[in-house]
Amino acid sequence: MSTATESLTIRRPDDWHLHFRDGDTMRAVVPHTARQFARAIVMPNLAPPVTTSALADDYRERILAAVPEGLDFTPLMTAYLTDETDADDLAAGFADGVLTAAKLYPAGATTNSAHGVTDVANISGVLERMAQVGMPLCIHGEVTHADIDIFDREAVFIDRVLAPLVERLPELKVIFEHITTKQAVQFVDASGPRIGATITPQHLHINRNAILVGGIRPHMFCLPVAKREEHRLALRKAATSGSAKYFLGTDSAPHHRHAKESDCGCAGIFNAPFALESYATVFDQENALDNFEGFASLNGPAFYGLPVNEARITLEKAPVEVPSEVEGGDAAIVPFHTGETLKWRLAS
């Protein structure tokens, strides 16, 4: 890595958690990610969800067809776990290289999670098989019980589900995704090397006030929902610390403007257009640009056991204005940081 005065050259990064959707929306959003990242772990929560190796293989082809010519981008596919997941299909997809990981959505946790797992006990055989073959498990870590406050759902998930799971299957590689709390940071820090975590740009930039102060801001709403300031500070410390357990995962989740600005607005923040710019701004603010390459380009591949990218990118300290909306297929999508000027930009 070289840090000249106002620029930063690093290995090309990857996005270890991302939503592309399908159809016209997918075709509109894929170029934003392919511009910045060499690979991305693609979430399977389509409607209907990507539950098998065959469905993942088809989806992969559709994504590849949407990558603009001249850009080198590889989608890394995941299978959506259900109570009925077939462990043989999963293991075969992993062995063939069709699947990179499997995704656990607790049923009802978020967008298109209705088919998710109703009780982790129902997939214990599948998880044992994954541990055996070394297939990583991506987890949306929130309990979904109506009696648990939405701001406590991640912390309660750690106590009730994640800690017992990790204790029972210490061989299983687990990615605790889009963490939002100091409890999650404490858990990951205290765990062994098979537990990693992704952190989104929004959870580094905003706390829950951004959603509710001065009016309700649907474009700041995602799940897990942003928490209090003390949690944001713990996440910034973890991300910029240099610890190999934390890596970049945007959770960019496109929803059209009208689906967000609604009586019942969808959860999800579309940060793909300026994701690297957003993260680099945080690392600069924390005087931690030296640790940016680890977070963005090295820790993820090391955790997944994949090679690092050979290409390099350069970020420059120069202003970039975020537009009010971007093209999203059927309708426009409002990007994260809309109306702001970010201080870093990706050199072409």
Assess 293 for contact with Zn ion (CB under 5 A): no
Assess 203 for contact with ligand DOR (CB under 6 A): no
Q: Omega of the bond prior to 301 within 30 degrees of 0, cis? A: no
Out of 267, 306, 342, 346, point to the residue binding ligand DOR (CB under 6 A): 267
DSSP character string of 159-194: IIIIHHHHHH-TTS-EEE-S--SHHHHHHHHHS-TT
Quick one: 71 or 331, whose CB is closer to ligand DOR?
A: 331
Quick one: 71 or 267, whose CB is closer to ligand DOR?
A: 267
Strands 74-80 and 99-104 turn out to be parallel
Assess 17 for contact with ligand DOR (CB under 6 A): no
- Interface residues for ligand DOR in 119-158 (CB under 6 A)? 140
In the complex, least distance from residue 38 CB atom to ligand DOR, rounded to whole angstroms: 22
Nearest to 135 by CA among 84, 86, 91: 91
Assess 251 for contact with Zn ion (CB under 5 A): yes
Assess 253 for contact with ligand DOR (CB under 6 A): yes
Backbone angles phi, psi at 138, to 5 degrees: -90, 130
Assess 180 for contact with ligand DOR (CB under 6 A): no
Active site residue 251: yes
Which residues participate in the annotated binding site for Zn(2+)?
17, 19, 103, 140, 178, 251
> Binding partner of residue 277 among ligand DOR, Zn ion, none, CB under 5 to 8 Å per kind?
none
Q: How far apart are CA 194 and CA 166, in angstroms?
A: 9
Q: How far apart are CA 129 and CA 95, in angstroms?
A: 12
> Which is the catalytic residue, given 24, 251, 263, 284?
251
CA 185, 276, 278, 329 torsion-angle sign = negative
Q: DSSP secondary-structure letter at 289?
A: G
Residues marked as catalytic: 251
Q: Which residues bind ligand DOR (CB under 6 A)?
A: 19, 45, 110-111, 140, 222-223, 253, 267-268
Chain residues that interact with Zn ion, rule: CB under 5 A? 251
